[in-house]
Amino acid sequence: MSAACLPGSDLPEPIFPVQRTETEWRQKLSPEQYRVLRGAGTELACSGAFHDHHGQGSYHCVGCGNLLFRSPEKFDSGTGWPSYFQPATPQSVGTRIDTSHGMVRTEVHCARCGGHLGHLFEDGPAPTGLRYCINSVVLEFRPELP
């Protein structure tokens, strides 16, 4: 994690390659997508399109199209949210400390637009032991072509 993401850091917030005004974000996204991606919200468990999705392909950021995860790294965590044991590439996502709601967690965000995706936990399967717990509403699925 970079020092810019640590609480109390004097470094400026990171600047992401994809920048839009709040008006542009609201025009691009549905109200629920905006609430989660730009407002760090969370969708209800088991409500998202991808929590029980088994198609082969890739998952991209609904805000900017960035490749985030691939289906071979997806697993059923039993939590009601899509879960992955690693991102598509090390550069696909970033993390930062989240101290909201009286908890200390690791937030996962899109590395291109900075949009909130979900949270990272250390209770996932091998080989990483990680669980990227992601909101379906911020994902766009692109099926593999034959």
**Catalytic sites, residue numbers:** 133
Distance CA 56, CA 74 (A): 10
pLDDT above 50 (res 20): yes
15 belongs to a structural domain: no
31 belongs to a structural domain: yes
Q: Distances from the Cα of 34 to the Cαs of 29, 59, 109, in angstroms?
A: 6, 18, 14
pLDDT above 90 (res 100): no
84 belongs to a structural domain: yes
99 compared with 95, residue with greater pLDDT = 95
In the chain, % of residues over pLDDT 90 = 83
Q: How many CB atoms lie within 10 A of CB 40?
A: 15
Residue 47: both structure tokens together: 């409500």
pLDDT above 50 (res 2): no
Task: Give the chain's domain count.
Answer: 1
53 compared with 5, residue with greater pLDDT = 53
What pLDDT is stored for residue 13 in this prediction?
67
Beta-strand ranges (E) seen in 4-144 are: 57-61, 67-70, 74-75, 83-84, 93-98, 105-110, 116-121, 131-134, 139-143
Domain of 101, in residue numbers: 3-7+20-143
What pLDDT is stored for residue 15 in this prediction?
86
Distance CA 83, CA 47 (A): 14
Q: How many CB atoms lie within 10 A of CB 107?
A: 18
What pLDDT is stored for residue 9 in this prediction?
44
What CATH number does the domain containing 96 carry?
2.170.150.20
What pLDDT is stored for residue 14 in this prediction?
75
72 belongs to a structural domain: yes
pLDDT above 90 (res 6): no
φ/ψ region of 3 (left if φ > 0, alpha if ψ in -120 to 50, else beta) reads alpha
Q: What is the 8-class DSSP label of residue 90?
A: T
What pLDDT is stored for residue 12 in this prediction?
60
Mean pLDDT computed over 110-137: 97
95 belongs to a structural domain: yes
97 belongs to a structural domain: yes
85 belongs to a structural domain: yes
Q: What is the pLDDT of residues 40-52, one digit of tens each?
A: 999 999 999 999 9
43 belongs to a structural domain: yes
